Amino acid sequence: MPELDLPQRQAPDALMLTGFWYRALPADRVHGNQLHKATLLEIPLVIGRDRVGQPFALRDACPHRGMPLNRGQFDGENLECPYHGWQFDVHNGQCQLIPSLTSDQTLKVDRIYAGSFPCEEQDAFIWVYIPDPAPQGAGFTQPSEAPDAAPQIEKFSAKYKLAYLQAEMPVSIDHGIIGLMDPAHGPFVHQAWWWRSRHSIHEKKKNFEPIPNGFRMSAHTPSSNSAPYKLLRFYANAESITTTIDFVLPNVRTETIRAGKYWFSSLTTVTPITRNHCRIDVVAAWNLFRWLPFGPDLLKFVFAKFVEQDRRTMEMQAEGLKHNPHLMLIDDADRPAKWYFQLKAAHLEAKRTGAEMKHPMTGPVALRWRS
Ligand code: FES
Ligand SMILES: [Fe+2]
């Protein structure tokens, strides 16, 4: 596996990983026969729902002469290109009609495809699977299939609330991700009277362990210096509160908090839009405070505040990154970021050689930092 310890090498190269599911759009934005534009990994997409509400994603370019298909006509089944009226089945991209053909012309219409992507709705989002780039037979490539289902939020009871929020950031996927897993920015970026102040900074020790394609911050009792956790412990009347935080490639952070019969679960993704642009989507599910009218709003307020603080920070960071500075990652606070880069490199190496992925962590590790 390539050695990634030189600071210069750790300057994110914004490589975007294919062969994974990515969140494209909040599901509640896509209604009826509307066509929506979205971009994932620099691929322009058109997204919509068919007559029965099933979502679809096509490459937003007609295989004939590249017209954006989002400008076309959609009847709930087929999408018609506005340029020469070719029609495509929205679920597999297969061409259904070429109006200019005469009855004796033998072009096999059904062998022509608009690019189409596996698409699923899951926990408030429309997800799109971005396959590895295949050798293209221009316009004759059949759609790929996803090897697995889109990631889901883990839920621990039948009834729960669900909410999402998102923020766009003018930095690469790598900066977005390492910003998300960075423990040391908390006291400086996320100050609030109800959370913590920079004076509450203290030494912490957390245990990490390898999991397939990622790592886990093992179950523990979260920082006792934050008011919401104190409140939670009181409210749930629970002996202990456990929190588990997982990161898995390419971009998924899940957090699970359990206190007695109460739980809170979130699945956060950082999605590469383009090389220099990413979007953070937080979706949370919980059964805490379900009976409190202001519960969901309160939680959303807290999360929105955090995400906004991160967004503003990365916007400022993007100013500095414009000039391509040398960067460094230090131990132990930036070790998760190092693991991320090593996981990414190991994943790519395994793909290249066809061998099993060699996990950069050999076993559990305790990290210490002040935050
Ligand atoms: S460009 Fe779409 S039909 Fe010609
Ligand atoms: Fe943050």
- 174-199 tens-digit pLDDT: 999 999 899 999 889 987 766 666 67
Query: Atom 3 in ligand 1: which residue has the minimum CA distance?
Result: 84
Mean of the per-residue pLDDT values for the chain? 89
Going along the chain, which residue ranges are E strands?
20-26, 36-40, 43-49, 55-59, 73-74, 78-80, 87-89, 95-97, 116-117, 119-122, 125-130, 161-169, 203-211, 214-220, 242-248, 252-259, 262-274, 277-286, 365-370
pLDDT, average across residues 58-81:
97
Residue 81 CA: nearest ligand 1 atom is 2
On whether the CB atoms of residues 143 and 113 are closer than 8 A, the answer is yes
**Mutational test site, ligand 1, from 59, 60, 65, max ligand atoms within 8 Å of CB:** 65
Residue 153 has a pLDDT of 97
132-147, pLDDT tens digit by residue?
A: 987 655 577 778 899 9
Q: What's the gap in Å between 83 CA and the centre of ligand 1?
A: 5
pLDDT, average across residues 325-330:
92
pLDDT, average across residues 279-305:
79
**Between these two residues, 338 and 5, which has the higher pLDDT value?**
338
Residue 69 CA: nearest ligand 1 atom is 2
**Between these two residues, 301 and 248, which has the higher pLDDT value?**
248
Least confident stretch, 23-32, 75-84, 87-96, 253-262:
253-262
Q: What's the gap in Å between 62 CA and the centre of ligand 1?
A: 6
Residue 7 has a pLDDT of 41
pLDDT for residue 200 is more than 80: no
Tell which residue, 70, 40, 34, has the closest CA to residue 55: 34
Query: Atom 1 in ligand 1: which residue has the minimum CA distance?
Result: 65
pLDDT band for 321, please (50, 70, 90 cuts).
very high
pLDDT for residue 110 is more than 50: yes
pLDDT for residue 355 is more than 80: yes
pLDDT for residue 3 is more than 50: no
pLDDT band for 260, please (50, 70, 90 cuts).
confident
Residue 294 has a pLDDT of 59
Ligand with minimal distance to 188 CA? 2
pTM confidence score: 0.90
Residue 72 CA: nearest ligand 1 atom is 2
pLDDT, average across residues 121-138:
86
Q: Which residue bears the tokens 């996927």?
A: 173
Residue 133 has a pLDDT of 84
Q: What's the gap in Å between 66 CA and the centre of ligand 1?
A: 7
Percent of the chain with pLDDT over 70: 86
pLDDT, average across residues 102-118:
95
Least confident stretch, 134-148, 245-259, 268-282, 329-343:
134-148
Contacts of 265 (CB under 8 A, 6+ apart): 153, 154, 155, 156, 254, 255, 256, 257, 284, 285, 286
Residue 2 has a pLDDT of 43
Which residues does ligand 1 sit against, CB inside 6 Å?
Answer: 62, 64-65, 67, 81, 83-84, 86
pLDDT for residue 11 is more than 50: no
**Mutational test site, ligand 1, from 86, 97, 112, max ligand atoms within 8 Å of CB:** 86
Instruction: Convert 28-41 into a string of H (helix), E (strand) and C (coil).
Output: HHCCCCCCEEEEEC
The residue count for the chain: 371
Residue 66 CA: nearest ligand 1 atom is 1
**Between these two residues, 326 and 228, which has the higher pLDDT value?**
326
Residues at Cβ < 5 Å from ligand 2 ion: 310
pLDDT for residue 173 is more than 80: yes
